[in-house]
Structure 1
């Protein structure tokens, strides 16, 4: 069971996301019985090879949230330098607080309790548009992004085309909000 601090904070963040959702992002707990497990839908950023796709993901929060960061994983193939083949997202904001033992990122870029689910999701959307190839989670994707950009983009287009088309985005979002609101 989550601590009352984690539950209060996650409920507060869910309300904020529901009342003022960032464009192209929908997220919330799968069930009111377990606020530590969320699903999210991220619309591929315009002007990128991800445009036109909708990418489902899951967020798993630790019991001591917000002191420790959640983990985030895409549910399906996402070819990207900062996404492990398993779908696990690798960006600074999801790394534990403190100094980076590998010296790739500053402590200020890593998780802190002032961060939020909204900030994570916006950071992931930005990551889709602008990969960080200095410390890749997927070395092959990073290599292709650096050396064969056209092939990299073709691979992304092919996976994005398999995703839900953009006009369905509003329907999916409304169904998700209705489902969570009726529990």
Structure 2
């Protein structure tokens, strides 16, 4: 990722959510105070972005911006990519920028809606105390991105739900609900990854490909550990992972969701790691991962002992989907 700058100016804004809003010429008047204010935002971002946030701004439309946040370890969003399209209003900074989250129709966080709405006090899209709201004299775009990373894409997003956070330390029932929510958040993160591999946002195509090429093996192994209940969701390869000698409870719903989703997801990761991208990743990986993931299920074990019915069905579906011949030699090529 060293070749991909954390902040850069690009030309192509054709797929930006807010491309048809505002008037680009008005914003590009270098004599206006608005132009100078946005340029200050650019400089702040260019100098202070952390390694886990990348931003692209547009030469012809300085009112537009696109940012991606890398999900942090210790959260159900780890190794995922979360894209936001941003537009500055005419009265910026009197009013905050407007954000649209690239959700692909998935709701993976109480603050991030499936329609792309970002619910955050700092954006004045959610109520909060005065220090939490947008302050024209102090608030910045960098602060918004940091807030999403730290406060939204966090370890226990369930407690971001209205009326829940204040009881986080007093109810074991809420903790259980939080674990279930993390399963859903992780699953939606995987689905988002799948969509990004198919349709990466413009100006981030190589970034998306390289990011998931480097982390494919880790993502697959995390999938395996979570479904088996060996590691709590969010903590794969995390030094601060909670230990449990009896394992972690995994809901049947999560197991079934991953059972149906994993074959295609693993194949998409494998295809992104093809030799044409400079990395070899044999199709055999999909065979091993799918088999291992569900070998813990007693029903599946019995099925396999009687002739491999379940696993054969899964593999037949994979091969049929991609036009492979019905033999394992073809699958391993």
So what's the TM-score if we normalise by structure 1?
Answer: 0.73
Aligned to 2:56: 28
Contact 2:69/2:82 (8 A) holds in 1: yes
Deviation at 1:147, TM superposition (A): 6.1
Gaps of 5+ in 1: 137-144, 176-183
Write the distance in 2 (CA, Å) between the matches of 1:60 and 1:146: 37
1:43 aligns with 2:78: no
Contact 1:82/1:90 (8 A) holds in 2: yes
Aligned to 1:84: 113
Deviation at 1:117, TM superposition (A): 0.7
Residue 128 of structure 1: which of 153, 157, 160 is its match? Answer: 153
Aligned to 2:263: none
1:17 aligns with 2:42: no
Contact 1:22/1:118 (8 A) holds in 2: no
Deviation at 1:161, TM superposition (A): 2.3
Aligned to 2:223: none
Residue 182 of structure 2: which of 142, 153, 161 is its match? Answer: 153
> C-alpha deviations, 1:117-160, integer Å up to 9, x for none?
10000000112105422269xxxxxxxx8762233212221222
Residue 118 of structure 1: which of 142, 149, 155 is its match? Answer: 142
| Runs of 4+ with deviation above 6 angstroms | none
Aligned to 2:9: none
1:73 aligns with 2:73: no
Write the distance in 2 (CA, Å) between the matches of 1:67 and 1:147: 42
Deviation at 1:57, TM superposition (A): 0.9
Structure with more of its chain in strand, by fraction: 1
Aligned-CA RMSD value = 2.8
> C-alpha deviations, 1:65-91, integer Å up to 9, x for none?
111101112112341111222121111
Aligned to 2:328: none
Contact 2:71/2:153 (8 A) holds in 1: yes
Residue 63 of structure 1: which of 77, 90, 114 is its match? Answer: 90
Alignment CA distance shift 1:78-1:18 (3 Å): farther
SS state at 1:19 partner:
helix
SS state at 2:63 partner:
strand
Structure with more of its chain in helix, by fraction: 2
Contact 2:64/2:88 (8 A) holds in 1: yes
So what's the TM-score if we normalise by structure 2?
Answer: 0.42
Residues paired across the two proteins, number: 155
Write the distance in 2 (CA, Å) between the matches of 1:157 and 1:149: 12
Moved more, 44-53 or 2-11: 2-11
Write the distance in 2 (CA, Å) between the matches of 1:9 and 1:146: 44
